[in-house]
Amino acid sequence: MRIVLTGGTGFLGSNLLHKLLANNFEVTVLKRSFSKLDRIHSVLGHQNLILFDLDKGNVEDVFAGSEINSIIHTATEYGRVGTPVHQVLETNLVYPIKLIELGIKYGVNSFINTDSYFNKENFRYSHLLNYSLSKRSLVHWLKSLSENIHVANVVLEHLYGPHDDNAKFVGNLIQNIAIDQVDRIALTHGHQKRDFIYVDDATDAFMLLLKHMNDSHVRYSEFQLGTGQSIPVRTLAETIKELSSSPTILGFGDIEYRSDEIMDSKADNSALVELGWHPQVKLHDGVIKTISSYKK
C-alpha cells in the first residue's frame, strides 16, 4: 500500500514517515529539493521510500506512475512575521486542493488532513491569522470535495516531543530552561491551558486512521487529536525546570496575554477512542524524553 506524504521532513511528518516504513508501507514524500533531511537521515535509501522534489518535477507523475491508496497532508506554513500571504495560501490551501484533485482523478481512496486547535469554531487567533484563515478555508473545500474521496480532518492539539523545532513553544522552553539554563525566561502568567500530546501518540492515531479510512463508508469525518486533558502552561514550565534541576528563573507575568489569547483548549477525542486509540505517554514521561533528546 503506497502513501503520499507531505511535510515528511518536518516534525510530525518525519515521525509519521518512520512509523509508516516500520509498518511496511510504501511512502512517497513530497518535498522541496532544498528541504533539510536531518530528521529522516536514518531512512534515506529505504527500499519503500521515494523522495519527490516538487520544484523539479510534475507532481501528477507521482499519481500517474503508481497506485496510491492515501494522501496524508502534514505540511504547513504558519505565516509568522514577514511571510507573504500568498505563500501561506499556496502551502495551506492551494497545494492540498491540488493534491486532493489529483487523488480524485487517479482513484485514491482517502485524504487525511492535519488541522489545528487554533481553528476551532470558538477561537480566533490573530497572532497567526493568515494561517488560521487559510486552514479554515481548506476545511470548507475538503467537505465539498469529499463527495469524491474519503476525507478525515485531524484537529491536532499542542504537539511536542524529541527533535521538534526549538523555535516552537515547548522546544523553546526546554532549550532555554533545561539546556541553556538562562538566568531568566520571560513568560505570561501561564494560566492558559493546553492539551499537550506526545508525538508518538499522535502518529499512532494517524496509523489507526489509515486503516479506518479503508473500511469507512463515511465521506467526511473530523477527529480531534489530543489527550483530552488540558494543563496550565505554568505547570509545563515548572515541570521542565524541576526535571532538569535548572536554576532558570521563570518570569511569570513578564509578558502580557494577547488580547485574544486562547485560555483553554483540549480535544474531544471520543471519536478516536471509539476506534480503539488511547494516548499512552504522560506529560512527565514525555518531557523527560524530550529533554533527553535536546541534550543529545
Name the band, by pLDDT with cuts 50, 70 and 90, for residue 127: low
Task: Give the mean pLDDT of 165-171.
Answer: 89
pLDDT of residue 67: 94
CA 121 to chain centre: 19
CA 15 to chain centre: 10
Q: Report the percentage of the chain scoring pLDDT > 90.
A: 83
Q: Which CATH architecture has domain 2-156?
A: 3-Layer(aba) Sandwich (3.40)
Domains of the chain, by residue range, sit at 2-156
Tell me what the mean pLDDT of segment 211-238 comes to: 95
3-state secondary structure 3-70: EEEECCCCHHHHHHHHHHHHCCCEEEEEECCCCCCHHHHHHCCCCCEEEEECCCCCCHHHHHHCCEEE
- pLDDT over 90 at 265, yes or no: yes
Q: What is the pLDDT of residue 124?
A: 60
- When pLDDT is averaged across residues 118-127 and rounded to a whole number, the result is 67
Q: Is the model's pLDDT at 123 over the cut of 70?
A: no
- What pLDDT, on a 0 to 100 scale, did the predictor assign at position 121? 65
pLDDT (0 to 100) of residue 82: 77
Range ranked top by mean pLDDT from 75-79, 157-161, 164-168: 157-161
Q: Could you tell me which of 31, 35, 5 has the C-alpha nearest to residue 20?
A: 5
Q: What is the mean pLDDT of residues 135-158?
A: 95
Q: What is the mean pLDDT of residues 59-73?
A: 95
- Across the range 211-225, mean pLDDT stands at 92
- Order of strands across the sheet that contains 150-156: 49-53, 26-31, 2-6, 68-73, 110-116, 150-156, 220-225
| pLDDT for residue 122 | 63
For position 13, what pLDDT does the model report? 98
- Residues 105-121: pLDDT tens digits? 999 999 999 999 877 76
Beta strands 110-116 and 26-31, pairing class: unpaired
- Is the per-residue pLDDT at 153 higher than 80? yes
